[in-house]
Structure 1
């Protein structure tokens, strides 16, 4: 329960600081850089070595691929309906099916299930990145 309170407090603090202009414009770049280049890689490197690889990980591994395939089907339908050009359709494929879920996903996994399940979240996040890297390279 304390994790949910922490998440709510952080969101509220961000809203209050933004509303009253306490921080200078663009100050979010520093924390975003730290999260992307330090915190998320550190979390991944902490939890991936503790994984016991088994068939139980098949679902977390294929989930990003299934989401991307669903997004691809949706993109095909929407692009035909709205007559998207090739580049717009490719961008639609990428942004609808994949995302960096670790920003919100890791804290929520920790809050709902506990820290021991962050290794599964790290596996899913890495597979999502792999799917993005492979398919974005192909369609773009």
Structure 2
């Protein structure tokens, strides 16, 4: 029984991607260098939803390849990076972007680091005062 569980756990990553060929523009650049530059700039700001720590431009995950293909296809069709970004946010939520907008939902992401720095400075000030006395 233990061997079956270990085998399943080891096989799970291998089964994560399908055996389908990659999407058309997943690993192929656009012919127009200006459009490819727009696509690459946008892809660097979008998070891979599978890897979570990588941009879709850096990820080898199948979903990231599909997203790269989608970005390049839509850029080639004349859509602006903002339109594509907005549609991906509408589909996947604000988590898909590395630069979430400031709103009630994302306020803790923006404010918590500032609050923690303030608390750290306040604690350090108190420690330095005590050491001088």
Normalised by the shorter chain, which TM-score bucket? Answer: under 0.3
TM-score normalised by the chain length of structure 2: 0.26
TM-score (norm. length: structure 1): 0.25
Larger Rg: 2
